[in-house]
Amino acid sequence: MLRAAALFLYGEALDDMRYGEIIRVREDSLAEELGLVPGDRIVEVNGQGLRDIIDLSFAMADEEIELLVEHADGERELLAFDKDYDEELGAEFRAAVFDGIRGCGNHCWFCFVDQVAPHMRDSLYVKDDDYRLSFLYGNFVTLTNMGEADFRRIAQYHLSPLFVSVHTMNMELRAAMLGTPRGGELLGQLDRLEAAGVEYHTQVVLCPGVNDGEELERTIRLLWERRSWVRSLAIVPVGLTKFREGCHPLSPFDAAGADAVIRQVSRWQKENRQKSGENFVYLGDEFYLLAGAPLPEAAEYDGFPQLDNGVGLLRNFLEDWEKSRTTASMAEPEKPARLDVVCGTAVAPVFGELLATVRTGKRQLRLLPVENRFFGGGVNVSGLLTGQDILRALRAQETPRDGVLLPASALRSGEDVFLDDMTLTDMEQALGVPVVPVLSGAELYDVLAHWGEAHRLRRDGKLYTWQGNAAYTKLGEGAG
């Protein structure tokens, strides 16, 4: 069985990328033995051109390999060798797709990319709707940009599960919300996936007065009827920034609206659990925070199938914290430690309760909920905080500090860079103290418990490896 053919890092798309560019070679790997180095590009395997890491993985499953490599100087070399069927190449690639990310041609009413501030880095304006990134990373796709060849390839390689943005099962409404007639073709597309034996997770971006209420009721019911193939349904509230010029008019949820959604979905969860043993449908954390409602217990998330979609993220964070608290004591530090803990305003009440349990005479913890002035106060999650907003809030504090802890989710994946291109180094130099990103509840507890022993918590980039069950699994990634 193919265990691992290649590793890659999720980098930014390169429009002119045609081949798989190597950025790192693992020590004592097959790639090192072959003499491959960063900058080399894989052109073909056994005469087959490569569109992405998926093609490469299947091609490398053979035991007799002819690898056409283009070196950084433009010279090409054909490497012929034998390998074990499950032997890893041991090379990491700049991007998962070699022929460019499939762009999105929709004009969704709620698209967050259309609400990003002007004059930011180009990658923030990229709209992807690529089924390969759905399979590899769990990115949600609408399927509107799918062609016949795409469906055939999904069936051929059995690319399952996928992550599908449904939004509504009313096809006329869906076409309007996505801004394309192809939005109304979803039912037939789901039928094709199911006929190919492909399972899929689904999501609804819920917009008040648009696809909620009775429309949401129908969407849940019709997806539940497809539960043999639908693994889960996540419902997340629409996110609105202050940069909405020319966008379809939408309103955010208020506390009463969030409470109504919770009560509506709770009825389905109770009924679904009685029938199948699982809730099937799950709400984004923002609904509970906005309504001031208690978070569901961990068991209610059935293994957290949509954690990366912000569904159960906070509960998972709390579970990590509690496991650390019960397995490792937090002794009083030898020297006083005055630490600022940064978070978004939405989670501030929960974080306040956590810090109160470990605050001591020498461990002086100040919770600092940061208002998102950059995107607007309606955006209150930690992952969308910018460096400039965090730095402004920290500078406004009058008392001194020895260090800062902030959410790693506010940084670009695998890098020490915020959305506005400020770096951690920039922030540290401006403040004159260590700034430590934490990814999970366990990391937060560990840094608080051992502050002074190691100020900087370094994290490697997210690595992904091919698995024999035809799926990619994220390695070394926490929740938070």
Give residue-wise pLDDT tens across range 337-383.
Answer: 999 999 999 999 999 999 999 988 889 999 999 999 988 878 888 88
- Residue 221 shares a structural domain with residue 272: yes
Residue 458 forms part of a structural domain:
no
* Angle at which helices 424-431 and 387-395 cross, to 10°: 10
- Residue 86 shares a structural domain with residue 191: no
Mean pLDDT of all residues in 306-329: 92
- Residue 124 shares a structural domain with residue 157: yes
- pLDDT at 404 > cutoff 90: yes
Mean pLDDT of all residues in 449-473: 43
> Closest by alpha carbon to 316, among 282, 267, 268?
282
Question: Would you state the pLDDT for residue 242?
Answer: 82
Mean pLDDT of all residues in 103-123: 73
**Residue bearing tokens 């999501």:** 203
- Residue 369 shares a structural domain with residue 428: yes
- Which of 130-144, 179-193, 249-263, 454-468 shows the lowest mean pLDDT across its residues? 454-468
> Closest by alpha carbon to 457, among 480, 478, 476, 434?
434
Residue 82: how many other CB atoms lie within 10 Å: 9
- Residue with more model confidence, 444 or 129: 444
- Residue with more model confidence, 242 or 143: 143
CA distance 97 to 51: 6
Residue 454 forms part of a structural domain:
no
- Residue 76 shares a structural domain with residue 167: no
Contact between residue 88 and residue 215 where contact means Cβ atoms under 8 Å apart: no
- Residue 333 shares a structural domain with residue 430: yes
CA distance 117 to 114: 9
Domain boundary among 286, 310, 334: 310
E strands, 148-262, where?
162-165, 200-206, 230-237
Residue 57 forms part of a structural domain:
yes
Amino acid at 120: M
- Residue 230 shares a structural domain with residue 363: no
Residue 142 forms part of a structural domain:
yes
Contact between residue 43 and residue 108 where contact means Cβ atoms under 8 Å apart: no
Residue 459 forms part of a structural domain:
no
Question: Would you state the pLDDT for residue 111?
Answer: 83
- pLDDT at 428 > cutoff 90: yes
Reported confidence tier of residue 9, pLDDT bands at 50, 70, 90: very low
Alpha-carbon distances, residue 309 vs 38, 72, 234, 368 (angstroms): 33, 38, 8, 25
Residue 456 forms part of a structural domain:
no
CA distance 61 to 92: 17
For the chain, how many structural domains are there in total?
3
* CATH code for the domain in which residue 261 is found: 3.80.30
- Residue 395 shares a structural domain with residue 247: no
- Residue 256 shares a structural domain with residue 342: no
- pLDDT at 169 > cutoff 80: yes
What pLDDT, in 10s, does the model give residues 77-108?
999 999 988 888 999 998 888 988 888 888 88
CA distance 304 to 325: 21
Question: Would you state the pLDDT for residue 374?
Answer: 86
> Closest by alpha carbon to 138, among 183, 81, 96?
96
Domain boundary among 251, 275, 310: 310
Reported confidence tier of residue 126, pLDDT bands at 50, 70, 90: low
Residue span of the structural domain in which 338 resides: 319-449
* CATH code for the domain in which residue 34 is found: 2.30.42.10
Question: Would you state the pLDDT for residue 1?
Answer: 20
The secondary structure element, H or E, covering residue 154 is: helix 148-157
Contact between residue 115 and residue 240 where contact means Cβ atoms under 8 Å apart: yes
